[in-house]
Amino acid sequence: MSTVPDISGKVTVSVPVEQAFRVFTSSFGNWWPREYHYGQAEMAEAILESGEGGRWFERGTDGTERDWGRVLVWEPPQRLVMTWQTNGQGQYDPDPDHASEIEVRFTADGAGQTVVELEHRHLDRLAGGDAIRSMIVGGGGWTAILELYAKAAQ
Amino acid sequence: MDTYGDGGLGLLGDPTRRAIFELLARRPSSVGELARQLPVSRPAVSQHLRVLKDGGLVVSRAEGTRRVYQLNPDGVSALRAYLDRVWDEALTSFQKVADDPDPEQEQ
């Protein structure tokens, strides 16, 4: 019943599937673009904990932690599902009914290559109605996101 | 950028479109008002607005003889465009790190 189209992406990496999974998860903070974070302080590190129920979060340079979501499915080295639950004010929303989901599939592609396919779905659950509306129409949280855009674009 | 095939991508990847989007985030505006604040022509602004409209980020309404553009208050499409961009960059960066067997990169 999703009214918002899923986001999907696909990349091929030149490493075996086990390594691709490892880099994606245990080295998450090494590749996640630093511009994209939600805490007040600059981001010191981004962490994706291993195993079902693992936390996905950032730690700021001031030591504060800010949750992004939870690991729902942990099937190394083939599959990973996690939630991303942020409301219109850019805050963590712990309600599972407001959680979008990201599924990542790792498929060995001969010759030591791995195809990594990502799907970010249930975006409509993030709506949070008025929250998102105020973010867009009233500025506020949206301004922060626009600053991220601007930074990322340079 | 070969990571994404579908529509949403790139909606805000273009600097002029992003600028228009930012201006509209401040206040609803007509094509002329936008063009005055940007180093591009009115037809170019119209073109970008059409793309933003098709992508669900912007809506327009008639106000007297003017047509006024504003961000789509259904924020989910905007959020989608934002996340589309996040994942596009993130996967590109992931690919770079995964393909580079630098021991310092992979702790």
Tell me what ipTM this predicted complex has.
0.78
Please say whether the beta carbons of B61 and A124 come within 8 A.
Answer: no
Cβ separation B90–A30 shorter than 8 A: no
Q: What is the pLDDT of residue A135?
A: 45
What percentage of chain A has pLDDT greater than the value 90? 50
Question: Can you give the residue ranges of every domain in chain B?
Answer: 15-99
- Sketch out chain A's domains with CATH numbers: 7-153 (3.30.530.20)
DSSP A92: B
Cβ of residue B91 closer than 8 Å to a chain A Cβ:
yes
The predicted structure's pLDDT at residue A3: 64
Q: How far is CA A59 from CA A31, A34, A51, A76, A85, in A?
A: 15, 12, 19, 25, 17
* pTM (predicted TM-score): 0.67
pLDDT at B74: 65
pLDDT at A133: 45
Task: Tell me which residue in B3, B72, B76 faces A123 most closely, judged by beta carbons.
Answer: B76
pLDDT for residue B60: 93
Q: What is the pLDDT of residue A127?
A: 52
Tell whether A7 lies on the interface with B, counting CB pairs under 8 A: yes
| Contact criterion met (CB < 8 Å) for B89 and A150 | no
CB within 8 Å: A8 and B26: no
Alpha helix locations (H) across chain A?
Answer: 17-25, 28-31, 130-137, 141-153
Residue A133 CA to residue A129 CA, distance in Å, equals 6
Cβ pair B15:A146 closer than 8 A: no
Residue B45's contacts (CB-CB under 8 Å, 6 or more residues apart) are B20, B31, B34, B35, B38
Tell me phi and psi for residue B80, to 5 degrees: -60, -45
pLDDT of amino acid A88 = 57
* Residues A8, B79, B38: CA angle, nearest 5 degrees: 110
Does domain B15-99 correspond to CATH entry 3.30.428.10? Answer: no
Specify whether the backbone of A46 is left (phi greater than 0), alpha (psi in -120 to 50) or beta: beta
| Low-confidence stretches of chain A (pLDDT beneath 70) | 1-3, 87-90, 127-154
Rounded mean pLDDT, B80-97: 86
d(CA A7, CA B10): 13
Convert the pLDDT of each residue in B23-52 to its tens digit.
Answer: 887 788 999 999 999 999 999 999 999 988
Residue A69's SS3 state is strand
Instruction: Please choose, from the candidates A55, A50, A54, A109, the residue with its C-alpha nearest in 3D space to the C-alpha of residue A76.
Output: A50
- List chain B residues with CB under 8 Å of A136: 25, 71-73, 75, 78
**Which candidate in A2, A19, A30 is best for mutational testing of the B interface (most B CBs within 10 A)?**
A30
